[in-house]
Amino acid sequence: MNIGGALEGVKVLDLTRVLAGPYCTMILADLGADVIKVEAPGGSDETRFWGPPFQNGVSAYYLCANRNKRSITVNLKSEEGREIIRILAKEADVLIHNFKTGSMEKWQLDYDSLQKINSRLVYCSITGFGETGPYRYLPGYDFIIQGMSGLMSITGSEESGPMKIGVAMVDILTGLYSVISIEAALLERGRSGKGQKIDLSLMDTAVSSLANVASNYLISGKVPRRLGNDHPNIVPYSKFKALDGDIIIAVGNNQQFATLCEVMGLSEMAMDARFCTNVARMENKLELTRILEYQLQLKTVNEWIKLFSEKNIPCGPIHTIDQVFEHPQVLARDMVVQVEHPEAGMVKLVGSPVKLSRTNTKIERHPPMAGEHTWEILQEAGFSFEEITYFKENNII
């Protein structure tokens, strides 16, 4: 028996571009939702043109967040184009967009307008700063939000200065929060029969992601500093130099520390008043690090990882990206998938981390070319051949 995805039957109208929104809708599509990606004629998702690298002219960036979707191109600057969106929204379960605050109201595609024609619509808005507050009309970009939210102030070392995270993590987290919010609203709709509006912002998401660092500040009043690879509350919990490279050791309690000392031939350190408790280790971190790194220079990273792992001491290497995608665990978990694309050919994509026992995620559609499914989608919506031809001839689609 072929069981559909967990979100089979859910129709999503996706008016987003770049990363936060497309990442959200890709997850929904992986879970079985019918996601209709809406762009302007010719393709208006900027990531289609971001590169290199490209594969046969198709941007690697675009490919990373748009699989399993269908594509329609519609000119939202025309009233006919906006009417197409309204007609599609009548039958949609979810509409998601990341236009600047006020844009959808100007086009009468805002929640108040659309809920009059579809009271069950779950409407998700993603903006830089949200739809309230003094910054609501400003555009938001991941890099800028990382700076403004405090994330960069705690990333990097004192020597490096503030550093952004290596991927657009605020966009990714906002996409994940969007999925959570949409699924929660769909669950609630099952009880009430009513849709609702979701107001998500990159800034809110970034501030939320400060987690324990924020709590440390709110409780102590002390402004956190950049710690590099160190932990603000635990020692030893950092990157250390072994004979042939770097190793991560993440000791979370006194028993683990005692075991670490035993394996490293430093058993007496576990009883030393300077190191026997986490509070003491925090106070004497520089001295402890010096002793550990001296001893770690005696063996290679792999030798230490084997010894530590046998005693359940949390540790690990620092892989380069090529090593990640050659790793047996990554491959065993199907975190590399392939899909045939009509222009790019066979492309490799990162697999879904969501593993469900009955309704597992599936990769069934390539990241679509701009407007690839326009005729198909409009015909499903009830438009005639003549109407679609008129739209095409007048640059409405």
> Would you tell me which CATH number, out of the four given (3.30.1540.10, 3.40.50.2300, 3.40.50.150, 3.40.50.300), belongs to the domain 237-318?
3.30.1540.10
Burial class (CB in 10 A: 0-12, 13-18, 19+), 5: buried
- Would you kindly state where each structural domain of the chain is located, as residue ranges? 11-209+329-393, 237-318
What pLDDT is attached to residue 2? 59
Mean pLDDT for the stretch of residues 343-365: 95
Mean pLDDT for the stretch of residues 227-243: 92
CB 124, CB 95: distance < 8 Å:
yes
What pLDDT is attached to residue 208? 98
User: Which residues lie below 8 Å from residue 195, measured CB to CB, with a gap of 6+?
Assistant: 115, 118, 119, 120, 121, 122, 123, 185, 189
Q: Mutual orientation of helices 254-263 and 301-310 as an angle, nearest 10°?
A: 130
**1 pLDDT above the threshold of 90:** no
What pLDDT is attached to residue 396? 95
Coil/strand/helix, residue 338: strand
Q: What CATH code is assigned to 11-209+329-393?
A: 3.40.50.10540
* Structure tokens belonging to residue 34: 């019918």
What pLDDT is attached to residue 330? 97
Report pLDDT digits (tens) over 265-321. 999 999 999 999 999 999 999 999 999 999 999 999 999 999 999 999 999 999 999
- Alpha-carbon distance 121 to 91, whole Å? 9
Q: Mutual orientation of helices 20-30 and 169-192 as an angle, nearest 10°?
A: 50
CB 142, CB 32: distance < 8 Å:
no
Among candidate residues 121, 139, 138, the one with its CA nearest the CA of residue 186? 121
**240 pLDDT above the threshold of 90:** yes
CB 97, CB 110: distance < 8 Å:
no
**115 pLDDT above the threshold of 70:** yes
Cis peptide before 52 (omega within 30 of 0): yes
189-194, long-range: CB < 8 A, 24+ apart: 189/120, 189/122, 193/119, 193/120, 194/119, 194/120
Report pLDDT digits (tens) over 375-395. 999 999 999 999 999 999 999
**Is 272 marked active-site?**
no
Q: What does pTM read for this prediction? A: 0.93
Residue scoring higher pLDDT (3 or 276): 276
The active-site residue, picked from 171, 204, 230, 272, is 171
CA distances from residue 131 to 60, 118, 126, 170, 207 in whole angstroms, order as listed = 32, 22, 9, 18, 16
Sign, CA dihedral 211-215-221-225, equals negative
- Alpha-carbon distance 347 to 67, whole Å? 11
**397 pLDDT above the threshold of 80:** yes
**20 pLDDT above the threshold of 90:** yes
Mean pLDDT rounded to a whole number for the chain: 96
